[in-house]
Structure 1
């Protein structure tokens, strides 16, 4: 590889790791960077997801004491839904034509960016934090089915395309009646880690991960994750969110114009 490609991947890995550590949105950086250095779109998506996996695991460990399950869902059911959804999403990606995925990329980034923009505002306003959860004693079966379907759909999305996964999960958890943000963050990180891990395993079996780029970007992402903790105290979360949303819109526009 050329020196320019090394620089792009290292810079994207560090920045992506930093963003994921403090606010999310790291895949908005890693995916375009990998495509820029010549990695095919499907492989770029898989490789970028794998590179950011250590950050998800570290975040899960950090919030392990705050993990709070939704009412009516036990841990075994949650893991089963997550793994099954992640497997299906990752398998769909493996069977997606490169040209088709190239067409979908700007729409996926745009969708994730919009969710990243409106999600925190809906959570802060309480719109998604209903005091009446979807799973209650009255109409238990129907409500539980709806909740499981919503969570399963997000897991399929996460296995297919990791961008914006965290904020979409928070939205679903809010609809399921959770109001404790720390507990929601803990569960969000756990589910994200499981989805990403199973997806990466399937990507690896399918042979779509670019190993050389993964090693470079993955190492840089770990450094970025540690650095992100320090930067988190120097910049407000609102500033970081505005930056990520701007990057997302610019990236999606760039792919639309390609």
Structure 2
């Protein structure tokens, strides 16, 4: 790797860790940086999954108290998440890079739109006090997990919205379940990607270190900015990547 490429990956990883801690959406940054240094889209997507894992794990550890209270309630969600993440990752590897690349702009614009609408979706669910039977929530989580194993950007927003239908309105409870499910989906998908040989290990090593550092030390700096600014930055990155893939397609 060139010095510029290493610097770009370090910066993207660090900012991704901080952004995830404040507003989510770090996948846009890691996937985008890996794309810009020349990795094929499937490899960039798989390597980005590894880069995000440390943040998911540390967030889950921070919610140990909430997860102990949740207990067995999370087990069906864990099961469908594992199966869905496996299917999504296998589906990705069933494609070749030209096929996946053709899908990326549509995936990016959909994920960017969902990320932008995330707060409004959450408010609408709370205002209408919508509730669904748990089996329906398990089905929805299964679909979300397939998407998470396949691509992943915007997955957190999807899970918060779907979990809110059955698990109440307590943000910390929802976020605790979400982070735990994210770890499961990521680990399953990464195992598939490693076996499939689509990980760029040098780039992954650079990003893992930067993401972990960003998540730990970058939070304080990121919190100085209003969440709306952070979200706006992530949305701008999503739109830039969409245009990039359209123009270079």
User: Under a length normalisation based on structure 2, what TM-score does the superposition of the two structures give?
Assistant: 0.93
Partner of 1:139: none
Partner of 1:138: none
4+ long deviations beyond 6 Å:
none
Cα distance in structure 2, aligned partners of 1:145 and 1:127: 18
CA contact (8 A) 2:74 2:177 kept: no
CA separation of 1:114 and 1:193: change in aligned 2, threshold 3 A: same
Deviations 1:208-249 (A, max 9, x none): 111111111111111111123212431111211111112211
CA-atom RMSD, angstroms?
1.8
Count of aligned pairs: 247
Which stretches in structure 2 are left out of the alignment for 5+ residues?
A: none
Q: Per-residue deviation at 1:129?
A: 6.4
Cα distance in structure 1, aligned partners of 2:203 and 2:237: 22
Cα distance in structure 2, aligned partners of 1:183 and 1:92: 31
Alignment of 1:1-258 (within 5 A): 1-67=1-67, 74-123=73-122, 125-127=123-125, 130-135=128-133, 144-176=134-166, 178-258=168-248
Cα distance in structure 1, aligned partners of 2:221 and 2:179: 20
CA separation of 1:208 and 1:190: change in aligned 2, threshold 3 A: same
Deviations 1:126-171 (A, max 9, x none): 4356535211xxxxxxxx4422211100000001111111111111
* Range with greater deviation from structure 2 (226-235 or 160-169): 226-235
What SS does structure 1 have at the residue aligned with 2:164? helix
What SS does structure 2 have at the residue aligned with 1:208? coil
What SS does structure 1 have at the residue aligned with 2:95? coil
* Range with greater deviation from structure 2 (177-186 or 162-171): 177-186
Cα distance in structure 1, aligned partners of 2:150 and 2:8: 24
Cα distance in structure 1, aligned partners of 2:65 and 2:127: 21
CA contact (8 A) 1:128 1:171 kept: no
Which stretches in structure 1 are left out of the alignment for 5+ residues?
A: 136-143
Q: Per-residue deviation at 1:83?
A: 0.5
CA contact (8 A) 2:30 2:48 kept: yes
Cα distance in structure 1, aligned partners of 2:214 and 2:145: 26
What SS does structure 1 have at the residue aligned with 2:125? coil
- Is the helix fraction higher in 1 or 2? 2
